[in-house]
Structure 1
Amino acid sequence: MKLEKVTESGRAKRWYDDACGTALALEIVGERWALLIMRELVYGPRRFGEVRANLPGISANVLTQRLESLEAAGVVVRRRLPSPANVQVYDLTDWGREAAPLMRQLGAWAARSPRHDKFAFMSPASAVMSLETLVVPERLAGKAMTVALRFPDDRFMVSVENGRLHVERGERADADVTFTGDTMALRVTVYGKAPFTADGANGGLALAGDTAAAHAFVEMFELPETITAPGVE
């Protein structure tokens, strides 16, 4: 590959005078909210209002600015869904979606911090990404199942097959297990290992379907050990 000098007129002003790819990555996604906006788009296109609703604290102006910056960087694309939806949505480009494993790795690293608040807000996209992040790979061996997750405003399917876990937005009628509830209920059930109930009365997800498969699914995930380091609170 031929090296070419990129002049200041050929790109936005740089934050760092550094050729490291990490420095460039920070210039692309290092602004506040940028990476979380990308997280919300990992599982498919979202309308502006849907992204904003799942990022408490972000203003419409800031969201607009970040989307424009990510679009200019080639990470996000704006398009219109065909009829009957006929609405404008934002989606990750193929290159933007390649950052998803990096988000999961970064999340797994940060989840070990004593500052990790396990009871703070989580969007549905964040919650299902946590499943991909905190699955214990060796516990997938020999398992095959489909699990539907019904959140109040979103739906996901989690498939386990051939030692791999796959998440996609949407729902199918043939799920072995259907869990219903909010993202806090998911944490209570999956990470807190709360007993199953049909109505979620214990604060966890409401369960319908194969109870044995539900138990096997929940046992695939585990919170990481919190670090102990001098001066870290």
Structure 2
Amino acid sequence: MGSSYHQFCPVAKAMELLDERWTLLVVRELVSGSQRFNELRRGLPRMSPSLLSRRLQQLVRAGVVARHADGSDVRYLLTDAGHELRPVVEALGAWGIRWVGELGEADLDPSLLLWDMHRHVDHSAVPDGRTVVHFHFRTLPADLRHWWLVITPGEVDVCDVDPGHEVNVTVTADLRALVEVWRGDLTWPAALRAGTVALAGPEALRRALPRWFELSDFAPVPRPVPSAGPVRA
């Protein structure tokens, strides 16, 4: 646990645990459904494994997370105390998307985007059987440019190496544009009209693809109406 604020205020006591770097993002991933260490790493791609391990140990000691081991299968599950942090995470995310709108280039991560998208597939809208969506981020370095989602009933795999299956639809996009679509800052039709996102494949699948994905949990959050500025006499 981090250093003490030496205040009896319960906000201060909570922040002694939660304001250490990455801690609340680990909780975010657990709230989002990740349970295994490698799943947590996929949702926190820029966090070192050693730091993730330390933060999990701290959360276990604090009673926020319980570690369950069944042989080599180790899962990290939220306790009652951990589940009570869900509205905290949701409120922070809603506040952040409403009031902290600017995204730097370093904030745009295809690994995190595809990991988040894979958790929001609407299986009832995807064709039966196996559906493969290839994502081509045209401006990224070669090792980050190509990603695949392999969607089967009840399961979605994220691949950064060609899985070898026939591709049903290819999404060619500027990473920023697809992130903005995902966050609800830009609509699919607007991105397609602008050419910052393009779809290739059979027409029926191209038309259907936006319905295959439920957007980020924070996409519906209302944004502030821009001020018209001071009224001049």
TM-score by length of 2: 0.54
Q: What is the CA–CA distance in structure 2 between the aligned matches of 1:92 and 1:63, rounded to whole Å?
A: 16
The one-letter amino acid of 2:181's match is V
Q: Paired residue for 1:50?
A: 39
**Correspondence for 2:77:** 91
Shift in Å, 1:68: 0.6
Report the alpha carbon displacement of residue 38 of structure 1 after superposing the two structures with TM. 0.9
Deviations 1:2-49 (A, max 9, x none): xxxxxxxxxx68511112121111112111000111111113342212
Query: Over aligned residue pairs, what C-alpha RMSD do you find?
Result: 4.8
- Kindly provide the amino acid, as one letter, of the partner of residue 188 in structure 1: V
Bigger mean CA offset, 184-193 vs 21-30:
184-193
Matched with 1:194 is 188
**1:35 counterpart (7, 17, 24):** 24
Structure 1 unmatched runs, 5+ = 1-11, 132-144, 158-169, 173-178, 229-233
Distance 1:187 1:17 in 2: 41
Q: 1:209 to 1:115 in 2, by over 3 A?
A: closer
Does 1:70 find its partner at 2:56? no
User: Does 1:110 pair with 2:96?
Assistant: yes
Letter in 2 for 1:89: R
Q: CA deviation at 1:205?
A: 11
Q: What does the per-residue CA deviation read over 1:127-153, in whole Å, with 9 as the maximum and x for residues that have no partner?
A: 699x9xxxxxxxxxxxxx9667x9956
Structure 2 match to 1:161: none
Q: What TM-score do you get using the length of structure 1 for normalisation?
A: 0.54
Alignment check: 8 A CA contact 1:40 1:125 kept = no
1:71-115 deviations in Å (ceiling 9; x for gaps): 100111111358xxx511222222202211111111111223355
Q: Which amino acid aligns with 2:69?
A: R
1:63-212 counterparts in 2 under 5 A? Answer: 63-81=52-70, 86-114=72-100, 116-117=102-103, 120-121=108-109, 122-123=112-113, 152=148, 185=178, 187-188=180-181, 191=184, 192-195=186-189, 202-203=197-198
Count residues in correspondence: 178
1:224 partnered with 2:212? no
| CA contact 1:76–1:91 (8 Å) conserved in 2 | yes
Partner of 2:160: none
Counterpart CA distance in 1 for 2:150 and 2:61 is 28
Q: Cα distance 1:222–1:52, how it changes in 2: closer, same or farther (>3 A)?
A: same
Percent of paired sites with the same residue: 28
Task: Go from structure 1 to structure 2 and tell me whether the alpha carbon gap of 1:225 and 1:18 turns closer, same or farther (over 3 Å shift).
Answer: same
